[in-house]
Structure 1
């Protein structure tokens, strides 16, 4: 009886370690297309979640861990796309501009799967696409996204090139 309990606990521990190791080596946040201004002072990065639970973005930094001038999430759909703008006022409001802290990125929203839906003609306005918009007063060459998933913290580095 005692051996059965110990073996069950051992199997459970190994299973939990295996699941968390898989998640750590296959992070859920993925990026896709990157659009930017000519001087790279504002960028939009298509992001999504290939996991099975929500992703929460904790912080976004640029270049050498600098705080950007402004950062928001665009909640759109694959048919509408994203807007590249140097401000979140005016026409940009029509693209679901939201504070990063106010949104959870839903599962199965990777940019590649959204593109497949568009190419197959199965995309709808109900599908969700997420665009990370970052504005800075200098050229942006790297965006660092700090996020959490199932209680684990990750960082995703997205290089920005001309």
Structure 2
């Protein structure tokens, strides 16, 4: 009886370690198209989740781990697209801009899968697309996203090059 319990515990432990190792080696946050204003002080990055559980963005930094002037998530769909903003006033108010701490990125929303749906003609307004908008008073050269997934912390660095 003790031997069976011990073997069961070892098998479960190996499976859990294997799952978390797989997730660490294959981070779930995916990025796609990058757009910016002409001065690169406003940047938009399409992001999504290629995993099976929600992603929570904890923080967004720029360049040398500096705090940007402002950052928001745009909630959209593949048919509507995103707005590249130099500020979050004016025309930007027509788009669904939300504070990053108020959004969880749902599974199966990777930008590549959204593009496939558009190309196949199967995209609908019910599909969710996420865009990270970052604004600063100086040029943005990279965006650093800190996020959590299944209790694990991740960092994704996205260079902004045109």
Q: Which TM bucket (shorter chain)?
A: over 0.9
Question: Equivalent residue for 2:42?
Answer: 42
* Runs of 4 or more consecutive aligned structure 1 residues displaced over 4 Å after TM superposition: none
What are the Cα deviations for residues 70-116 of structure 1, in whole angstroms up to 9, with x where unaligned?
Answer: 00000001001000111112221222100000000000000000000
- How many residues are treated as equivalent by the alignment? 162
Q: TM-score, normalised by structure 1?
A: 0.98
| Structure 1 vs Structure 2 CA RMSD | 0.6
Question: Equivalent residue for 1:9?
Answer: 9
Show the 5 A alignment for 1:66-145: 66-145=66-145
Gaps of 5+ in 1: none
| Distance apart, 1:21 and its partner CA | 0.3
Question: Equivalent residue for 1:33?
Answer: 33
What are the Cα deviations for residues 23-54 of structure 1, in whole angstroms up to 9, with x where unaligned?
Answer: 00000000000000111111000000000000
Question: Equivalent residue for 1:56?
Answer: 56
Gaps of 5+ in 2: none
